[in-house]
Structures are given as structure tokens and as C-alpha cells.
Amino acid sequence: MTAPAMSTEAEHAAVKSAPVVGRRRRKAERGKQRSSVLTVIIWLTVLYFIVPLLWLVISSTKDNADLFTTFGLKLGHSFQLFKNLGSLFTFQDGIYSRWLINTVLYAVVGSVGAAVLSTMAGYALAKYRFPGSRAVFNIVLGSIMVPLTALALPTYLLFAAAHLTDTPWAVILPSLVSPFGVYLMRVYAADAVDDSILEAARIDGASEFRVFRTISLKLLTPGIVTVLLFQLVATWNNYFLPLIMLNSPKLFPVTVGLAQWQGAAAAGGGAQVLFSTVITGAFVSIIPLMIAFLFLQRYWQSGLATGGVKG
């Protein structure tokens, strides 16, 4: 299942609801008492989500033998985390760090670019009535249904004709297109930017671009951060596009690199079994996004709150 496909609904609903989140809730909640039964049930569910990650952390401290022979949630006979990290960052001349850097580059450039384009387009679709706007919006909506393989091969061939395959552009350029982002920004802008403010600014003689830059952008910020966040996750997790576009391992993002190592570990190619390296690599690869996520989440939530006040 693809991240971009799944992300939209969250963006939509989150944004949609944002302007209405009230502070009025607080008062009533004070009186509520906790339920032990519900607490136990919910925390048991939490285990389901956390235990696999716990396993990943513990497994990255084991060597190959312990990985397969000791209980998954207990430490192995020896603590090999640092040795695993050592082999992770030195294997194939330390290409793993290169993959991490590539991932950051693709994700940041791709998501910032997509957010900029989506904001402009979404705002225009929401706030201007012009011939063709409906058609544009419908095309954007329809494009969400297109399966990724329909595009993969022709995109690959066209990029090859332009000598762009096996370059960072092959991954970055297609990820600039985010119909979801446009859709979401349109929904958000419709609520967040009040027409009367725009009218007032226009009557004061401000040019359209000035209105956009000085007034609307500020109002749109929470929405933009949301798009940015989700687009960041989508590009960070992207696997299919770089898989077909890139040939040189030194250009891989970490997802493709890890999948390749896992394939190599399985194929065995000689006497090389690097399961614990792959596991450690998987563990390390999710740390940056989790940190980035926690960090951005504050912005995101405060963004929703801001939207709420405006509403």
C-alpha cells in the first residue's frame, strides 16, 4: 500500500476539522473519570503496535546466530549493537551513510517543492473563480485513482530519453507532483482564508500577489505545514519510484538500499550472511523520521489550534 494514497484522507479530515476544534471542550472534560477496563484494553492494543519495534531495537544488538536462536524480546548472549553499527557504516565502503543523506535530500527537496506548488495551486482553486477551475480540480482528483505501474514504465522510458534516469532528478521531479497536496490545500484555503479579508485588502488597492504573500500565506501556514509533513513521510518512504529509476547504489535512498541488502543477504552470494547488519540498518533508518516527526508534530498540532481560533 502506498503512503501517498493513504495520506490524503488524514490530511483532509485533519485540516477540515481544524477550524472547528474548540476550546469549549476543556470545561466538560474536567469532570470525566478514567475507566480502568478501557485503559487496559487500549494499552494492550498499544502493545501490538510497539512490540515489533521493540523487537527491532533488541535485535539490532544481536549477532547473526543470536538473531535466530534466542528469544526475540530478550537480549542475546552478547551485546553486539556497536559491532553491528560498525559493520553497518563500513560495509561496502560505508555506503549506508550515503543512503541516509540521499533520503534526506530527496525527501526535503521533494516535500518542500510539492508543498510550494500545492499551496499556490490549491489556494488559486479555492479563492478564485475562473474558467477552467472546475476542470482542473476534477483532473487533479481523478489522477489519484491512477495506479502507479501505469506511470512507472513510461516515466522511466521518458526520463531515459532525457538522460535523467539514474540521477537524483529522476526521484525528485516526479515527487513534486502531489495531487493530494493540491486537493488538501484547496479544502484548507476555502475555510482558513476568509473572502471578506481578501475583499478588504483588494479595496485597499493591494495587488493579488501582495494579498497572497502578505495575508493568505500566513493564514495558510498550518495547512502548509501539514502538507509538508505528509509529503515528507511519503517521499521518505518511497520505494517504487527510486527502485525503477536508479541503478547506482550510491544514489539509492535507504529504502531501496536496505531492500537490496536483504535480497543480497538472502541470495547469500558467497559466504556472506548479513542479516544482523540489515536489521540494524532498518532500525537506524527509522530514527531520523521519528525524531523529525516528533519535532514537526508540535508545529502540526499548534497549526491545527491556530486554525481553530480563526474558525
Partner 1 sequence: MRNLRRTTMAGAAGATSLVLALTGCSSSGDGNGTKAPAKALTQSEIDKAMDTPTTITFWSWLPNIQDQIDLFEKKYPKIKVVLVNQGDASAQYVKLRAAVKAGQGVPDVAQVGYDYLPSFTQTKSLLELTPYGADKIASDFVPGVWSQVVQNGGIYAVPQDSGPMGTLYRTDILSKAGVDAPATWADFATAAQEVKSKTGAYITNLPGNDMPQTLGFFSQAGASLFTYDGKTTVGINVDNDVTQKVVAYWQDLIQKDLVSTDPDFTDAWYQGLSRGKYATWLTAAWGPTFLAGSAKNTSGAWRAATLPQWSAGQNVSGNWGGSSDAVMAATKNPIPAYELAKFINNDPSSTIELANKQSLYPTTISTLSSPAFTDAKSDFYGGQQVNKFFADVSSTVPQNQKYVPFEDYVNSSYNDTLGKAIADHGDLKAALSAWQQQLVTYAKQQGFSVK
Partner 2 sequence: MTAETPRRMALSAPAARRSRGIHAGQTRTAWLLILPFLLVFAAFFTVPLGYSAYLSLFTSKLVGGEVFSGLDNYSRALHDPHFWEGLRRVAFFLCVQMPIMLAASTFIALALDSQRVRGGKFVRLLVFVPYAVPSVVATLMWGYLYGKDYGLITQMFDAVGLHAPDLLSPGSILGSTMNIVCWEFVGYNMIVLYAALRSVPNDLYEAAEIDGAGQWRIAWSIKLPALRPALLLTLIFSIIGSFQLFNEPNLLFNIAPNAIGSDFTPNLYAYNLAFRGQDNNYAAAIAFLLGFVVMIVAFVVQGVTNRKERQA
Residues that bind partner 1 (CB under 8 A): 65, 68, 92, 154, 156-167, 169, 173, 244, 247-249, 259-261, 263-264, 266-273, 275
> What DSSP string describes 23-85?
STHHHHHTTPPP-HHHHHHHHHHHHHHHHHHHHHHHHTTS-HHHHHHS-TTS--SS--HHHHH
Distance CA 167, CA 175 (A): 14
Out of 117, 190, 215, 217, which residue is the one contacting partner 2 (CB under 8 A)?
Answer: 117
Out of 89, 259, 273, 299, which residue is the one contacting partner 2 (CB under 8 A)?
Answer: 259
- Interface residues for partner 2 in 145-164 (CB under 8 A)? 145-155, 157-158
Give every CB contact of residue 22 below 8 A, 6+ residues apart in sequence.
308
Angle at 143 between CA 140 and CA 149, to 5 degrees: 155
63 closest CA partner among 280, 224, 227: 280
CB of 92 to partner 2, least distance (A): 18
Selection from partner 1, partner 2, none that 73 binds (CB < 5 to 8 A by kind) is partner 2
102 closest CA partner among 6, 2, 170, 163: 170
Count of beta carbons in the 10 Å neighbourhood of residue 109:
18
Nearer to partner 2, 21 or 190 (CB): 21
Angle at 56 between CA 7 and CA 243, to 5 degrees: 50
183 forms part of the interface with partner 2 (CB under 8 A): no
Largest Cα span, the chain: 76
CB of 288 to partner 1, least distance (A): 23
Out of 35, 92, 214, 272, which residue is the one contacting partner 2 (CB under 8 A)?
Answer: 35
CB of 89 to partner 2, least distance (A): 18
CB of 156 to partner 1, least distance (A): 7
Nearer to partner 2, 133 or 167 (CB): 133
The interface mask with partner 2, positions 45-84, x = CB under 8 A, is: xx-xxxxxx-xx--x--------xx-xxx-----------
Out of 223, 231, 278, 303, which residue is the one contacting partner 2 (CB under 8 A)?
Answer: 278
CB of 117 to partner 2, least distance (A): 4
Give every CB contact of residue 20 below 8 A, 6+ residues apart in sequence.
308, 311
Near partner 2 by CB under 8 A, which window of 82-90, 93-101, 131-139, 217-225?
A: 131-139
305 closest CA partner among 226, 228, 233: 226
